Chain A
């Protein structure tokens, strides 16, 4: 159980175009989803937290107009990178949480990631 999928797994787009990445919880309802960005050989940087039906909360330094997040349902969140540039090339990872405090912790379930390359 607790499977999270991402689509696409890899995408190449041209500079100036927009690209959408989907994150789905396949067998549970995710009240909260998180979007991370991972640079080569570095840690995960939290970009934003989204709750179903409400606006995402962005971390400091993350441009909300550039990285549009929509958490339309309890099983789907999307990240749209608008007007992409080569510096947006990265590995984007989502995670999902039921929001339930189980075994003294909240658990996040991670998707496999999406490799974005902007040419």
Chain B
């Protein structure tokens, strides 16, 4: 079956530091890949997505590239801000399963001044 593995948190960074959150997946076929962000007390918001190999999703300074050869979709940002503090979820949607999402366990990011 499908699965998503994320690096465990919490990740604590200073403002303006470089961020990487690792995500690898297992799926049959060619899934779509997503990063969602959850701010404290809120639901999930789609941050970015990529639907085929070598696609790069980007939004708000965040980027992730769909790497089929390494089955990875690592999230990166060059310079984090305090306002980026949140929980980040990697997820996939398998073509054969319609639009069911499989989530990773989430990585909490804390950005300090």
Contact = CB atoms under 8 A, between A and B. Distances in A.
Given A93-B43, A113-B42, A42 B32 contact: no
B46 interface: yes
A43 B103 contact: yes
Interface of B: 32, 36, 41-46, 49, 51-52, 89, 93, 98-101, 103-106, 108
Interface in A33-63: 34, 41-44, 46, 49
B101 A108 contact: yes
Contact of A97 (B43, B89, B99, B105): B99
Given A108-B99, A110-B36, 8 more contacts: A4-B43, A42-B106, A43-B89, A43-B103, A49-B100, A93-B43, A106-B32, A107-B46
A49 B108 CA distance: 27
B43 A99 contact: no
**Which bucket holds chain A's interface residue count?**
20 to 34
Contacts of B89: 43-44
A41 B105 CA distance: 8
Contacts of A42: 105-106
A112 B43 CA distance: 4
Contacts of B93: 105-106
B51 A103 contact: yes
